[in-house]
Amino acid sequence: MSFYPERRIKPRIICDYPAIVVGCDREGIKYRERAKLANLSASGLFMKANRIIDNGSALSVIILLTSERIHKNTPKIGTNGVVVRTEPKNDGTCGVAVKFNSYRFQ
């Protein structure tokens, strides 16, 4: 039980969706790699990324709306947003909270 009030404006769903993250690293080199969502709402997401991502980074995230096999026709959400929180892990992965600037179903 938490003693802190819920601050989220939009409800979130717990999920295990695969995602593709597109961004630029500290040297300005563009990357595109897989990630895994932990939760999703209308205003943002939290995911586990395979690299350390800086707070304040601009990212595009394509969310694949399936926990089954990915097919060509798998529904997707394309998002653009900014990293508002990071949780670097010792194994080189990073928990990343992204606030959406925009999103669209694909």
> Hey, what domains does the chain have and what are their CATH numbers?
12-105 (2.40.10.220)
- pTM score, two decimals? 0.87
* Residue 68, CA distances (Å) to 6, 17, 29, 63, 75 in order: 31, 9, 32, 13, 12
pLDDT tens for the 106 residues of the chain, in order: 445 455 667 788 999 999 999 999 989 999 999 999 999 999 999 999 999 999 999 999 999 998 777 777 889 999 999 999 999 999 989 999 999 999 999 8
pLDDT of residue 1: 46
Cβ within 8 Å of residue 6, ≥6 positions away? none
Strand, coil or helix: what is 51? coil
Cβ within 8 Å of residue 91, ≥6 positions away? none
